Structure 1
């Protein structure tokens, strides 16, 4: 990328929306680091989710604060992308408290497609049974939130291309096509 360092970027959405795949592909394309916010969950949160128990807001606040701190640190060192559910406006607001200027790439899709993907996943602590609670909690980006909504029916490459185009337009920067 040419120009200033990237602001913090969150690839958000419900479980099985492809956050990890898109965040990884986008980071490779932009030449920055990426992290999965799930890796920052304390063991208690992971155990709850693995047992099919949705997290409460009290479970999430310390985790979101840590994600926000990591986002800010990554942005300060040249840019970073996080895969993070960020389902509700208050969660995104919490991230913005720690990581100013964060941009959101909201991956969304047909609930049936998401359920198929969730059921097909192996070795993931988040059971498919929690997808309905995530869909119920999801609050789409508000008009005043800096972000874009992309449909997960497209391929990871197509989603990444669309995200890059949106970032170039939003940030008024050039991202070389050979940066992959």
Structure 2
């Protein structure tokens, strides 16, 4: 089985969205694996050799940010968030699609403005030369990454997220 065949079989997205979903999930998975290895080495070093990994907390914080914000666009455009659908059985499908569209627009606008504000904070952090306390890693670049991923989430929700709202029934 070729990789492209595997990708088409495991990802419902169409076109470039399929590759973007795969790459973002790959980044999240690699980061999760790195965090697991870091935690294992840190705990083993701490309790067996009385020598923990220097800066493990800072690396874990950065890794968690990278992992969560890599998965956020994919989860958002797939509609993978917690949803309360108590009234879905009682409301007509047209109204449900309209409410889903309104929610997608609100989510997109919120992520856009959130990303804009976070980007300003990241630029300010870089200009001031702020670094992490122990390892001295520039923290502004992680903040800029969070802003960019928030913008990708907003764009993904406006494009592919809305596409899924209107065409997910026909795709099944």
TM-score after normalising by structure 1: 0.26
Q: Determine which structure has greater relative contact order: mean sequence separation of CA pairs < 8 Å that are 6+ residues apart, divided by chain length.
A: 1
More strand by percentage: 1
TM-score after normalising by structure 2: 0.26
Compare CA radii of gyration and give the structure with the larger one: 2
